[in-house]
Amino acid sequence: MKNRNIPFFILLLINIFVLSLISLVNSELSRWGISIFLPGLFFLSSSILLNWWQGILGCTIIGLFLDSVYHTPFGFLGFTLPLLCLAGKRWLKNTSNNRPWRSVLFQVITNMGTAFFLLAVLFIQDLSFNKFNFTRLITDLVLSSILLIPLCFWLLEFTIIVIEKVSGKNVIKEDEL
173 burial level (CB within 10 Å; 0-12, 13-18, 19+): exposed
Report residue 129's pLDDT band, with 50, 70 and 90 as the boundaries. low
Highest mean pLDDT among 54-63, 134-143, 160-169: 54-63
Is the four-CA dihedral 9, 13, 19, 22 of positive or negative sign? negative
Averaged pLDDT of the chain: 88
| SS3 at position 153 | helix
- Phi then psi for residue 19, to 5 deg, are -65, -35
154: DSSP letter: H
Across the range 4-15, mean pLDDT stands at 93
Residue type, 91: W
pLDDT exceeds cutoff 90 at 78:
yes
- pLDDT reported for residue 134: 76
Across the range 141-166, mean pLDDT stands at 94
Apex CA 94: angle with CA 89 and CA 96, to 5°? 120
Across the range 96-122, mean pLDDT stands at 87
The secondary structure of 79-97 as a DSSP string is HHHHHHHHHHHHHHHH-S-
Report residue 94's pLDDT band, with 50, 70 and 90 as the boundaries. confident
Across the range 68-78, mean pLDDT stands at 91
The secondary structure of 41-68 as a DSSP string is GSSHHHHHHS-HHHHHHHHHHHHHHHHH
Element (H, E) at 131: none
